[in-house]
Structure 1
Amino acid sequence: MSKTKTILITGSTDGIGKLAALKLAEAGHQVYLHGRDADKLASVIAEVQAVATGDAVDHIDGFVADFSDLTAVLKMATDVNEKLPKLDVLINNAGIYTTASAITKDGLDVRFVVNYLAPYELTNALLPLLKQSSKARIVNLSSAAQAPISYKAFVGQERLDDKAAYAQSKLALTMWSMDLADRVASDGINVIAVNPGSLLNTKMVDEAYGHHWSSADKGANILTALAVSDEFADDTGKYFDNDIKDGAHGAARGEFGQPHADALDKEAIAELESQTQQVLQSLY
């Protein structure tokens, strides 16, 4: 582990985001959390403060934003920019699979918004802060579930079931991650997309599937390592697959692997960027 880092983790009031926040604060890092419920966020901030060590104790805080509302995401970015002098690590962990209301107020599938457009907007708005770090890292939470994007669904003209919407949104995030890595390399910022492990013991997995393969710790451990370990100091533009280790669901850790082919296809990535800009321009 290297020196103390300033770290922002989205979707960190439960699941592997919360576990990673606890581990990182315990290791002495300054951790900023995010949640959509202010009371729950305050409660988790207190939990993280209780385990924080060193100077980190005075640098545990959080931000409230509903990631299904991109205006709220941009307001959070403004708040982060005003509060922090620099950002060493951004972990885009917030995600959604099943939900009672799959369509946002703007008529878009909530999975595309929360899992892809929100981190896209937040990250781009925080790039100036990340550039203030000597060697920043962005960790984007992908998934083993990645499926080609239907742009009719992406723009809200077609409805998808939960599984398809989730898999397409995660491929979008992974495609963007590979492109972002190229764009920010000269700024000393590394970008890694990670499948933290399939069917981990989290609330999201329980609501979606009702069973799990591995403990949530498996996912939190790889997030923690990708965030601060010197082992990954020079890795960027890569996809870490936490499932591929001896083919065993319970294995401690995976390795770098291949994402969906579209994530390495320049033409497909250019199409995603074009469609993304059109959707964003229609919203603001």
Structure 2
Amino acid sequence: MPDPRRTILITGSTDGIGRQTAADLAAHPENFVIIHGRSEEKCLAAKEFIANECGGSRTNLDFVVADLSVLSEVVELANEVERRFPSLNVLLCNAGVLNQRRLETKDGLEMMFQINYLSHFYLCHLLEPLLSRQQNSRILVIGSVLHSWTSIDWGDMMCEREYEKYLQYSRAKLMLHLFAFTLHRRMILAKKSVTVNVLELGKEKEPNNNGRL
């Protein structure tokens, strides 16, 4: 018998607003929440926190582990979700970083560009077939009021000439906004049952200097 619960995957949900969102959703028994984090230790700690401190139940919580700064792990994440969970109703793209200095990933890309934008772009592409199997499924992208601070520097997308953390964070969020709008239109044209929305948080909810949402 199919699981009647709504399955929700939240990236970057081992702390901050991601964990709180997971806790709020897991408090409702009709939701099944998949926590995502960079390590099993962090995911287990978040699961226990939600179950013990926030009224959630261990029976409607699970987790997946992947480092979004490694594109091969994004593929593994999507494959694991499809293998372990029969359905997916909501993908909430929350994970994000704010790095003080320019860092490169193992894939040779600027880290904020990859984690905040590209890996979510890729994950949405990989999980769209699974989402499309359900009626009224959703992709929710955590945006930012800071997306309007700047424009995309097409000549220096990896910030090799100049790096300023807030400008690069703003550019990545602008890319996410544009991606979400484009994907939503494509879902409509393809007559898919997936809606795509951007959720803008207030300035007080932006990442602080610890580097993560």
TM-score, normalised with respect to structure 2:
0.87
| CA contact 1:10–1:91 (8 Å) conserved in 2 | yes
CA contact (8 A) 1:136 1:190 kept: yes
TM-superposed deviation, 1:91: 0.3
Write the distance in 2 (CA, Å) between the matches of 1:111 and 1:152.
Answer: 17
Percent identity for Structure 1 against Structure 2:
31
Name the SS for the 2:146 alignment partner.
Answer: coil
Provide the C-alpha distance between the structure 2 equivalents of 1:121 and 1:113, rounded to a whole number of angstroms. 10
Query: Compared with structure 1, are the counterparts of its residues 126 and 179 closer, same or farther at alpha carbon in structure 2 (3 Å cutoff)?
Result: same
**What is the Cα-based RMSD across aligned positions, in Å?**
2.0
Q: Which amino acid aligns with 1:31?
A: V
Equivalent residue number for residue 194 of structure 2: 189
AA aligned opposite 1:188: S
- Give unpaired runs (5+ residues) of structure 2: none
Mean Cα deviation higher: 59-68 or 87-96: 59-68
Q: Higher mean Cα deviation, 87-96 or 187-196?
A: 187-196
2:15 aligned with 1:14, yes or no? yes
For residues 44 and 20 of structure 1, what CA distance do their matches in structure 2 show? Answer: 12
| 1:99 positional shift | 4.6
Which residues of structure 1 form unaligned runs of 5+? 209-215, 217-284
Amino acid at match of 1:45: K
Query: Is the 1:92–1:138 Cα contact (8 Å) retained in structure 2?
Result: yes
Query: 1:102 and 1:36 mapped to 2: Cα distance?
Result: 17
Deviations 1:147-189 (A, max 9, x none): 2111233256434211111000000010000000011231111
Shift in Å at residue 14 of structure 1? 0.7
Change (3 A) 1:159 1:77: farther
- Superposition pairs for residues 206-225 of structure 1, below 5 Å? 206-207=209-210
Which amino acid is the alignment partner of residue 167 of structure 1? S
Task: State the partner residue of 1:276.
Answer: none
Q: Is the 8 A contact 1:109 1:153 kept in 2?
A: no
How many corresponding residue pairs?
202
- Secondary structure of 1:145 counterpart: helix
SS across alignment from 1:196? coil
8 Å CA contact retained: 1:93, 1:140? yes
Q: How far is 1:100 from its partner?
A: 5.5
Residue 155 of structure 2: which of 149, 152, 156 is its match? Answer: 152
TM-score scaled by length of structure 1: 0.66
The answer on whether the counterparts of 1:37 and 1:64 sit within 8 Å (CA) in structure 2 is: yes
Question: Which 4+ runs in 1 deviate beyond 3 A?
Answer: 155-159
The one-letter code matched in structure 2 to 1:116 is: Y
Q: Which has the higher contact order (CA 8 A, sep 6+)?
A: 2
1:158 and 1:75, CA in 2 relative to 1: closer, same or farther beyond 3 A?
farther
